[in-house]
Structure 1
Amino acid sequence: MDIIRSIVAVLGGIGLISIVVEALEFTLVNAVSGGTITDMQGYFAVRNQPAILVAKLGYNSVGAVLGGYLTAKVAGRQEMRHGWAAAIVQTAGLVWGFTGGEFAAFTPVWMRIALVLVTGPAMLAGASIRARAVRSGT
């Protein structure tokens, strides 16, 4: 059962990142646009504004910290090892999506690079927070 718990921990952490990031991004883009956007061109036109992209780095990092924390908490042991596994899977997914995904061209190259460089370490920070809490008994 440990392997199942490990898989659930890693996938749960990655899933949480997607939920947090997509919900925040969708809400922010619609708020900035002043209404509901009905097509991808319009969505990315708003999302790729400089202020939104800076915010994206922030909310992606927050989502990644939360995802890393959840991964470590659900794992219940070897928190950092599970955090590393989740960070590697998430980073691989980002690299694949940003190089071969159908919407890759809609995200500026500098943002793709920044997200790949920031997301994994943010996940490890979240796992580390949980690991330290376990060691301190809280």
Structure 2
Amino acid sequence: MSDHATTVDSRPRRIGRSIVAVLIGFVTVVVLSLGTDQVLHVLDVYPPWGQAMHDPALNLLALSYRIVYTVLGNYLTAKFAPHSPMRHVWVLGFIGLFFGTAGAIATIPMNMGPAWYPIAIALTALPCSWLGGLLYRRQQTPR
């Protein structure tokens, strides 16, 4: 057995730090998304909470900043991961896919807006996760 294999195998995994890294990313996405939503509701850009929002431009606006926040959240998850940053990013990505899919299933029948919006939220979870991890990895690569 090589020294490298022994070193890698003997390293503790630090599950608590892994959970914290994923939580940092998740909370970042949720807080920034809901915070921006609230500001846009207060400014009367969005209709009041609980009312349907069928305007495609407003849904595209919401999708746009959620994409940016999801990339940022995954970047932070990679940054705070104690090891294997991309593995942590994929965990957060699948959590996002799960919640996005559940949200689409729950909200589409409610007719609160166009059906494409919650579907797009679910479908962008994994690509945004990958991009956040990639941006972190590129920053770490010496030039």
Q: Name which of 40, 45, 50 aligns with 1:40.
A: 50
- CA deviation map 1:68-102 (0-9, x unaligned): 10100110421111111100011101111221369
The amino acid that maps onto 1:127 is: G
Count of equivalent residues: 131
1:58 aligns with 2:64: yes
Greater relative contact order structure (CA < 8 Å, 6+ sep): 1
SS in 2 for 1:32: coil
Q: CA separation in 2, counterparts of 1:103 and 1:75?
A: 38
Aligned to 1:29: 41
Q: Name which of 116, 132, 135 aligns with 2:122.
A: 116
Q: Name which of 62, 67, 90 aligns with 1:84.
A: 90
Deviates more, 1:104-113 or 1:53-62: 104-113
| Cα distance, 1:33 vs structure 2 | 4.5
- Higher helix proportion: 1
| Cα distance, 1:29 vs structure 2 | 2.9
- CA deviation map 1:89-130 (0-9, x unaligned): 111011112213699642421111111111321122111111
| Cα distance, 1:61 vs structure 2 | 0.6
Going from structure 1 to structure 2, the CA distance change for 1:57 and 1:100 (only over 3 Å counts) comes to closer
TM-score, normalised relative to structure 2: 0.79
Q: CA separation in 1, counterparts of 2:133 and 2:85?
A: 6
* Structure 1, gaps ≥5 residues long: none
Instruction: Provide the aligned C-alpha RMSD in A.
Output: 2.5
TM-score, normalised relative to structure 1: 0.81
Going from structure 1 to structure 2, the CA distance change for 1:131 and 1:50 (only over 3 Å counts) comes to same
* Structure 2, gaps ≥5 residues long: 1-12
1:7 aligns with 2:19: yes
- CA deviation map 1:16-74 (0-9, x unaligned): 1011111112212332359x93x512xx34xx322211111210111101111010011
8 Å CA contact retained: 1:64, 1:120: no
